[in-house]
């Protein structure tokens, strides 16, 4: 009898994990932008070439990394954001799994330049297929620049599976917009093949919405605010008369993290009932603040799903919050004197 089970080498384990974390260029971009926000950046620049197939670069002015941390950041399950299992119930950062950079570096060529403000010199690292190929001191600005080149260069099946440039670019713009929407106080820019698609200056949420979706949203937004012990809501919904036939822009953020929820979407649609035609869709950008111990964001590696421990309460707070906001802006006089 002989034993046949072996632990997989890191490079292979990372490549397998990458299959879940990095589905396409936009998933890598999301992880990198979130890391920049977590690092306290006030400015984040994104550079894209060939819809991210050739280059995805994120440059931030955040806190940077020491030489040792820069190397550690590419290890799997290596994170500065949680230390013990209790921390999982009080997550305040985007990241916590410590697998994004390891996954990205398993399936791409990654060049990182990073410097902490108190250091004279920064660190340059070049990692390819999980292997550190180069490490040297470098003169660079405070913060971190990560350039991801030739994504899936070593996974031909994935590379071939990528969609056309316009489709991949659409995903990239969507991820960019989600992060940019949730941090209006941070300056963001997006360049594609040397053309500037977005330059968003720091400001208020309403200004960020106009910066992202265009001037026709100016004056068309209704502020929404609701404060309950369980959940706080703030954000904007579109005036009923501006509802669109196409599904349009609808965003939920829970503790500043973009989430998808058909259930909460229904709560908003329900609040618009009678105000818009059934084939029309309202605009909304709503931020929910919930005690992290009442939610579970650890449902899926890409973290767009979430579990609430009291879904129904949240549903009704969202619904009544939106209803109230719309009511306060309703110019049609009501003939109901019963209250
Ligand atoms: P996670 O974000 O889940 O911790 P990542 O693989 O995304 O895992 O990053 C690993 C670690 O690398 C982070 O915990 C952080 O300490 C460091 N890091 C990554 N990106 C940046 C950045 N832009 N600025 C500063 N530190 C970073
Ligand atoms: Mg991360």
What's the confidence (pLDDT) of residue 333? 44
93 pLDDT more than 60: yes
Q: Please tell me the number of the ligand nearest to residue 77's CA.
A: 1
Residues 90-117 have a mean pLDDT of 91
Complex ipTM value = 0.99
Structure confidence by residue, pLDDT tens digits, 316-328: 999 999 999 998 7
Decide: 184 in ligand 1 pocket, CB within 6 A. Answer: no
226 or 93, greater pLDDT: 226
Which pLDDT band, with edges at 50, 70 and 90, does 302 fall under?
low
Question: 102 C-alpha to center of ligand 2: Å?
Answer: 10
pLDDT at 148 over 70: yes
76 C-alpha to center of ligand 2: Å? 11
Q: What is the average pLDDT across 209-216? A: 94
100 Cβ below 6 A of ligand 1? yes
* Nearest ligand by distance to the CA of 36: 1
Comparison of pLDDT for 187 and 78, the residue scoring more:
187
C-alpha to C-alpha distance for 146 and 188, rounded to whole angstroms = 16
Give, using CA atoms, the residue closest to atom 16 of ligand 1. Answer: 80
Which of 159-168, 298-307, 317-326 has the least mean pLDDT? 298-307
What per-residue confidence (pLDDT) applies to 1? 79
Query: Comparing 19-33, 117-131, 184-198, 300-314, which segment has the lowest mean pLDDT?
Result: 300-314
End-to-end C-alpha distance for the chain, whole angstroms: 83
The domain ranges of the chain are 10-200, 215-328
pLDDT at 119: 97
- Which residues are bridge partners to 302 per DSSP? none
CATH (one of 3.30.70.890, 3.40.720.10, 3.30.230.10, 1.20.1250.20) for 215-328: 3.30.230.10
Task: Find out whether the beta carbon of 264 lies less than 6 Å from any atom of ligand 1.
Answer: no
Lowest mean pLDDT among 103-112, 143-152, 161-170, 256-265: 256-265
- Position 49 scores a pLDDT of 98
Percent of the chain with pLDDT over 70: 95
> How far apart, in whole angstroms, are the C-alpha atoms of residue 92 and residue 31?
15
Confidence of residue 330 (pLDDT cuts 50, 70, 90): low
Q: Which atom of ligand 1 is nearest to the CA of 96?
A: 3
User: 35 CB under 6 A from ligand 1?
Assistant: yes
Residue 98 pLDDT grade (very low, low, confident, very high; cuts 50, 70, 90) = confident
Region 77-92 average pLDDT:
83
Q: How many residues does the chain have?
A: 339
Quick one: pLDDT at residue 305?
A: 77
- Whether the pLDDT of residue 335 is over 60: the answer is no
CATH topology assigned to domain 10-200: Heat Shock Protein 90 (3.30.565)
Find out whether 45 and 58 touch, Cβ atoms under 8 Å.
yes
Count other C-beta atoms under 10 Å from residue 84's C-beta.
6
Strands (E), the chain: 43-49, 55-60, 109-115, 122-128, 131-138, 143-149, 187-192, 195-200, 221-227, 231-238, 250-254, 257-259, 284-290, 295-296, 307-308
268 Cα to the center of ligand 2, angstroms: 31
Q: Quick one: how far is CA 114 from the chain centroid?
A: 22
Q: Which ligand 1 atom lies nearest to the CA of residue 101?
A: 6
> The pTM is what?
0.92
Say whether 215-328 and 10-200 share the same fold. Answer: no
Q: What pLDDT is stored for residue 300 in this prediction?
A: 66
Question: Taking 50 as the threshold, does the pLDDT of residue 336 lie above it?
Answer: no
Which atom of ligand 1 is nearest to 80's Cα?
14
Asked if residue 339 has pLDDT above 70, the reply is no
Higher pLDDT among residues 260 and 144, named by residue: 144
Secondary structure class of 249 (helix, strand, coil): coil
CA of 81 to the centre of ligand 1 (A): 8
Once rounded to an integer, what is the mean pLDDT over residues 74-95? 84
Distance, CA of 226 to chain centre: 24
Confidence of residue 298 (pLDDT cuts 50, 70, 90): low
Answer whether residue 233 shows pLDDT above 90. yes
Rounded mean pLDDT of the chain? 91
Q: Which atom of ligand 1 is nearest to the CA of 31?
A: 7
């Amino acid at each position: 009898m002989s034993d046949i089970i072996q632990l997989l080498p890191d490079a292979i384990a990372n490549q397998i994990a990458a299959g879940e974390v990095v589905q396409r260029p936009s998933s890598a971009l999301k992880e990198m932008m979130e890391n920049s926000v977590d690092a306290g950046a006030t400015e984040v620049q994104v550079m894209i070439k060939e819809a991210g197939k050739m280059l995805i670069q994120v440059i931030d002015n955040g806190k940077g990394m020491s030489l040792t941390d820069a190397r550690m950041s590419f290890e799997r399950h290596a994170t500065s954001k949680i230390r013990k299992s209790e921390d999982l119930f009080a997550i305040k950062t985007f990241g916590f799994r410590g697998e994004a950079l390891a996954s990205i570096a398993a399936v791409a060529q990654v060049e990182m330049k990073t410097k902490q403000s108190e250091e004279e010199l920064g660190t340059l690292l070049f990692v390819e297929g999980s292997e550190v190929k180069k490490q040297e001191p470098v003169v660079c600005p405070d913060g971190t620049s990560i350039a991801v080149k030739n994504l899936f260069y070593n996974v031909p099946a994935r590379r071939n599976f990528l969609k056309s440039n316009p489709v991949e670019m659409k995903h990239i713009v969507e991820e960019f917009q989600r992060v940019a929407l949730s941090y209006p106080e941070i300056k963001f820019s997006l360049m594609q093949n040397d053309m500037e698609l977005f330059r968003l200056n720091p400001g208020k949420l309403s200004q960020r919405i106009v910066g992202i979706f265009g001037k026709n949203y100016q004056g068309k937004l209704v502020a929404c605010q609701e404060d309950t012990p369980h959940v706080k809501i703030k954000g904007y919904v579109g005036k009923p008369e501006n509802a669109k036939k196409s599904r349009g822009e609808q965003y939920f953020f829970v503790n500043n993290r973009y989430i998808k929820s058909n259930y909460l979407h229904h709560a908003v649609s329900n609040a618009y009932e009678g105000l818009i035609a059934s084939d029309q869709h309202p605009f909304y950008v709503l931020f929910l603040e919930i005690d992290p111990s009442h939610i579970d964001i650890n449902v899926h590696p890409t973290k767009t799903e979430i579990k609430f421990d009291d879904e129904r309460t949240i549903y009704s707070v969202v619904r009544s919050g939106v209803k109230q906001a719309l009511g306060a802006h309703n110019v049609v006089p009501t003939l109901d004197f019963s209250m």
